[in-house]
Amino acid sequence: MVYYIVAIAFSIVIAAMAGEKYISLRYRNRITHINYSFLFALFPLWFILAWRYNVGKDYGAYAVTYFRYGLGEGRQWEIISTVIIMLSRFLNSGHVLIVVYAFIFCFFLYAAIYKNKYDKYYSIIMVLCSGLLFESVNIMRQTAATAVFLWCISSKEGLCWKKKILPLFIASLLHKTAVLYIVWFSVFEIFYKFFGNRGKTIKKILTIMLPVSLVTLSAIRPILETLADRLHFYQKTFHSVYDNFAYSPSFLLLTLPGFLLVTLFSDDHAISDPEEKKQYWLYYMILWTAAFCAMLKPIVPNGERIIELFLPVEVLSLPALFHYCNKKIEKVLKLCVAVVSFAVTIHYYYVNNATWAFPYQFIF
């Protein structure tokens, strides 16, 4: 745990020391200023993720199995991941996979944090407290694709889903579950068009849906199986070894406190900018989606993987949504969520060693 905490601490220190550094690019008589200071801040995290040895459940799968035999059946869609494997074979080192995925994850994660413009230091802290850091040593392709998704939604400018299809499609070439982001974005567009101006009512309905979903699990399960069969997606996991009907208090505690505090204390009425308001609701809906998936985990095979598609957005959404709370309690709310999340993370990822992130050891 010490290595991870030190890496996060150094990342925050470097972020503070580096400040904001920009490079200007001219294209068709238009000048774009790009903040590149995040490249300094990501280095400590990338270092411990890239130069680990036998850390993470899937380390052997990437460094040995995928390196020698490829991704396997049903993953032909993941073209970028296949190219990375080809690169590792060209360089004759399975560890190249670990280094490259770590860089993709850290690059897009920190680019998103800096682009988000809401308390980047709290965002970096939540990388640790939310458990995203420990998931990244395990489900490397998925967390790399998730980092691309975070980058896509990290700015209020250009939130139109049509502009996000291409980068999200590219993310699906890293890991095919990223296709769900395209589906989610499409559903959000429809939701926001019809209900975006009914804030308080919608929040009440969404909040009520969470406990209701718990008592209707037996009714929801057949619907999920039918959808999986009709869409030919995820259907093989039902009635498999991944289908264990297990509750997970850890994921409930990682998703619910932030969602409930934002629902109670955050308000979008003072937001006049249409794009800013849309981003507020996008972040809010992803928080709700993560909590809803945590509620449905007992009836969703390998439900942790679905939750981990949306839970990492806390890194961006919590500092953004808490920004619209009363300034007198904003810091208290941030502290409460960080403390609860870190306590759960310690238990789930350290005590239970759920992703085999411990003990940490360097490759050299």
- The predicted-structure confidence for 151-206, as pLDDT tens digits, reads as follows 988 876 656 667 778 888 889 999 988 888 988 988 888 888 888 777 778 888 99
312's CB contacts (< 8 A; 6+ apart) are 130, 132, 135, 143, 146, 150
The answer as to whether 358 is a domain residue is no
Q: Is the pLDDT of residue 222 over 60?
A: yes
Structure tokens given for 116: 């988000």
255 within 8 A of 294, measured Cβ to Cβ: yes
- Amino acid identity of 256? L
- Amino acid identity of 65? T
The answer as to whether 360 is a domain residue is no
66 within 8 A of 98, measured Cβ to Cβ: no
Structure tokens given for 202: 């919608």
Q: Is the pLDDT of residue 345 over 90?
A: yes
The answer as to whether 286 is a domain residue is yes
What confidence tens digit (pLDDT) does each residue in 36-86 have? 788 889 999 999 999 999 999 899 999 999 999 888 777 788 899 999 999
Residue 267 is given by DSSP the state -
The answer as to whether 359 is a domain residue is no
The answer as to whether 21 is a domain residue is yes
pTM beyond 0.75, yes or no: yes
How high is the pLDDT of residue 150?
93
Number of domains into which the chain is organized: 1
- Domain carrying residue 82: 2-351
344 within 8 A of 254, measured Cβ to Cβ: yes
> Binning pLDDT at 50, 70 and 90, where does residue 103 land?
very high
The answer as to whether 47 is a domain residue is yes
Q: Is the pLDDT of residue 20 over 80?
A: no
Q: Which residues pair with 33 in a beta bridge?
A: 24
Question: Whose CA is closest to 206, among 222, 195, 217?
Answer: 195
